[in-house]
Amino acid sequence: MSDAARAFHQRIDAALADRALGDALALTTGRLAGGRAAAMAAFADAEAARDEARRIRAAAIARLDQLLERFEREATARGCRVHWAETAADATRIVTAIAQEARVTLAVKSKSMVSEEIELNAALERSGVRVVETDLGEFVVQIAGDRPSHIITPIIHRSRHDVARLFREKANAAPEDVADIPAMTAFARRTLRAEFLQAGMGISGANVAVAETGTVCLVTNEGNGRLTTTLPRVHVALVGIERIVPSAADLAAVLSLLARSATGQALSVYTSLISGPRRAGAGPGPAKGGEPDGPDDVHVVFVDNGRSRLLGGPLAEILYCIRCGACLNVCPVYQKVGGHAYGGVYPGPVGSVVMPGLLGLEAWSELAQASSLCGACREACPVRIDLPRLLLEVRRQAAAKRLAPRWLRVAMPVYAAVARRPRLYRSAVAAAGLLGRMVAKGGWIRWLPGPLGAWTASRDFPAPATRSFLQQHRLRKEAAR
Ligand code: SF4
């Protein structure tokens, strides 16, 4: 077993042993998955909308280069500055340079998975810029020195009592500030408002970028995204290069599914469309065409960081993802172990493809093994990404690079050799069935040897049926004649 795989298994064991985590995950994933199911059931054209969204995303990825060039032209014409970052290091260097040029010492940030991916906060802090997370969940993550464990709900792993304790210990909250959830949110709002007013730079992600207008679209539920992108004098939007659609109509089609799939809302509370800095007009104020608020400078930083390597390849479909998190909420593995067990920025089924796809198989291929391939993720995905197929593809690539565990590398050729010889296969199945029934008690096997023991460590294995599938099939056929 590789070091990465061993570390992954250790994180899984720790997560499974954490009862509080299990309770928190069951509660929130159940609520989110239930909300999604209800919202989609109430959405008259849900299936047609999913087909349309998939078509839009597939077409956009197929001509990504043209759409990105169009975005750059349109956004530049509206006064934005567009930057291109091939790697995470390039992206952090660009944002740091923007901060230094604008003499920024404090930046406020709304939720951005790309910023987590490129470890932006650490890079900015190293260059003397203090960064304050303003999404409530991310704010809690930051004061706890923690990491987000879900794409949409970063503190899915924490209870409200946890958060109250953190506010008291790390943010000088008074007892009345943590008396209940409204008091805690009011405390966070007061704390963050002061930071918003002093920050020189606002950093956001982007849910979608619209090529025909050079617009960045941001959806949030807390309003912090609006303050981040309008109050500071400089706004930097970090955008994964795949997050682009051609037109505003395409954006509407994607938005009709995003919040429904993520939280069960028809639409998020705030949908912000940013198409350039504050316009000066003929003079200050709306009467003379000038805009009263908004940043003086807007920078859009497109981040590749491995995405273009996926284009045209067998994992390219993952680039259709709109980061709704629905596949996490329905995944029986994520529901049990949560996001931290996956070890990377993107957890769950989507993360098990994105992490090896972007950052390499060597350290991340093991994630794709943590799937029962039940297909719940494919059923929930608003853009119908065939996640089980992609997970199998990651496994195939890992096997081709001999990254699978040694026992599996030995066992699979043996299995393949037996499966190709029908007589031998039937004899082997009969022998395994007989042995299985001999060791079973009450119809269940309670212990299996070697690597198979991972199954019986936490649940029993059903005893093999007396007749094999082939035997039953033959008997039914004969009975039907
Ligand atoms: S893979 Fe599909 S379900 Fe999962 S986050 Fe992406 S769009 Fe949502």
Residue 328 CA: which ligand 1 atom is closest?
Answer: 4
Spatial neighbors of 173 by CB under 8 A, at least 6 apart, are 164, 167, 184, 187
**Helical ranges in 133-180 per DSSP H:** 136-144, 160-170
| Residue of 219, 383, 391 with the most ligand 1 atoms within 8 Å of its CB, for mutation | 383
Query: Is the CB of 383 within 6 Å of ligand 1?
Result: yes
Element (H, E) at 64: helix 64-77
> Which residue owns the Cα nearest ligand 1 atom 8?
324
Taking only the tens place, the pLDDT of each residue in 17-51 is 999 999 999 999 999 999 999 999 999 999 999 99
State the Cα–Cα distance between residues 414 and 416, nearest whole angstrom: 5
φ, ψ for residue 9, nearest 5 deg: -65, -35
State the Cα–Cα distance between residues 69 and 438, nearest whole angstrom: 67
Task: Please give the distance, rounded to the nearest whole angstrom, from the Cα atom of residue 377 to the centre of ligand 1.
Answer: 8
Spatial neighbors of 442 by CB under 8 A, at least 6 apart, are none
Query: Is the CB of 326 within 6 Å of ligand 1?
Result: yes
φ, ψ for residue 321, nearest 5 deg: -55, 135
Task: Please give the distance, rounded to the nearest whole angstrom, from the Cα atom of residue 323 to the centre of ligand 1.
Answer: 5
Task: Please give the distance, rounded to the nearest whole angstrom, from the Cα atom of residue 78 to the centre of ligand 1.
Answer: 32
Task: Please give the distance, rounded to the nearest whole angstrom, from the Cα atom of residue 65 to the centre of ligand 1.
Answer: 23
Task: Please give the distance, rounded to the nearest whole angstrom, from the Cα atom of residue 185 to the centre of ligand 1.
Answer: 29
> Which residue owns the Cα nearest ligand 1 atom 4?
327
Query: Is the CB of 327 within 6 Å of ligand 1?
Result: yes
Q: Please check whether residue 186 is in contact with residue 173, taking contact to mean a CB–CB distance below 8 angstroms.
A: no
Query: Is the CB of 132 within 6 Å of ligand 1?
Result: no
Residue 111's SS3 state is coil
Task: Please give the distance, rounded to the nearest whole angstrom, from the Cα atom of residue 334 to the centre of ligand 1.
Answer: 14
Task: Please give the distance, rounded to the nearest whole angstrom, from the Cα atom of residue 381 to the centre of ligand 1.
Answer: 5
Element (H, E) at 58: helix 46-62
Does the predicted TM-score (pTM) go above 0.75? yes
| Residue of 307, 324, 330 with the most ligand 1 atoms within 8 Å of its CB, for mutation | 324
Q: So what's the pLDDT on residue 286?
A: 63
State the Cα–Cα distance between residues 422 and 419, nearest whole angstrom: 7
Spatial neighbors of 196 by CB under 8 A, at least 6 apart, are 108, 134, 227, 228, 231, 232
Token pair, residue 319, equals 């680039």
**Helical ranges in 214-373 per DSSP H:** 224-230, 248-262, 307-310, 326-330, 332-337, 348-359, 361-364
Query: Is the CB of 381 within 6 Å of ligand 1?
Result: yes
| Residue of 40, 245, 327, 333 with the most ligand 1 atoms within 8 Å of its CB, for mutation | 327
Domain residue ranges of the chain, discontinuous segments joined by +: 1-42+327-404, 47-305, 409-480
State the Cα–Cα distance between residues 409 and 401, nearest whole angstrom: 11
State the Cα–Cα distance between residues 57 and 391, nearest whole angstrom: 20
| Residue of 153, 255, 261, 333 with the most ligand 1 atoms within 8 Å of its CB, for mutation | 261
Query: Is the CB of 385 within 6 Å of ligand 1?
Result: yes
Task: Please give the distance, rounded to the nearest whole angstrom, from the Cα atom of residue 477 to the centre of ligand 1.
Answer: 42
Beta strand ranges found along 337-426 (DSSP E): none
Q: Dmax of the chain from CA atoms?
A: 89
Nearest CA-CA partner of 271 in 226, 239, 229, 235? 226
Token pair, residue 13, equals 């064991």
Dihedral (C-alpha) 194, 269, 214, 151: value to the nearest 10 degrees?
A: 80
Protein fold of 47-305: Rossmann fold (3.40.50)
**Mean pLDDT for each 10-residue chunk of the chain (481 residues)?**
85 92 93 96 95 98 98 97 98 98 97 96 97 96 94 91 94 95 95 96 98 97 95 97 98 97 95 93 67 93 97 97 97 96 96 96 92 96 98 94 84 92 92 91 91 84 88 90 84
Query: Is the CB of 351 within 6 Å of ligand 1?
Result: no
Edge-to-edge strands of the sheet including 234-240?
81-85, 297-303, 234-240, 201-204, 106-109, 130-133
One-letter amino acid for residue 9 of the chain: H
**Cα atoms in the Cβ-side hemisphere of radius 13 Å centred on 324:** 33
Query: Is the CB of 354 within 6 Å of ligand 1?
Result: no
**Helical ranges in 88-156 per DSSP H:** 88-101, 113-117, 120-126, 136-144
Residue 133's SS3 state is strand
Q: Are strands 270-274 and 215-220 parallel, antiparallel or unpaired?
A: antiparallel
State the Cα–Cα distance between residues 144 and 363, nearest whole angstrom: 26
State the Cα–Cα distance between residues 337 and 347, nearest whole angstrom: 10
Nearest CA-CA partner of 298 in 213, 230, 354, 380? 230
Q: Please check whether residue 245 is in contact with residue 251, taking contact to mean a CB–CB distance below 8 angstroms.
A: yes
State the Cα–Cα distance between residues 204 and 266, nearest whole angstrom: 23
Q: Please check whether residue 334 is in contact with residue 346, taking contact to mean a CB–CB distance below 8 angstroms.
A: no
> Which residue owns the Cα nearest ligand 1 atom 6?
321
Q: So what's the pLDDT on residue 394?
A: 96
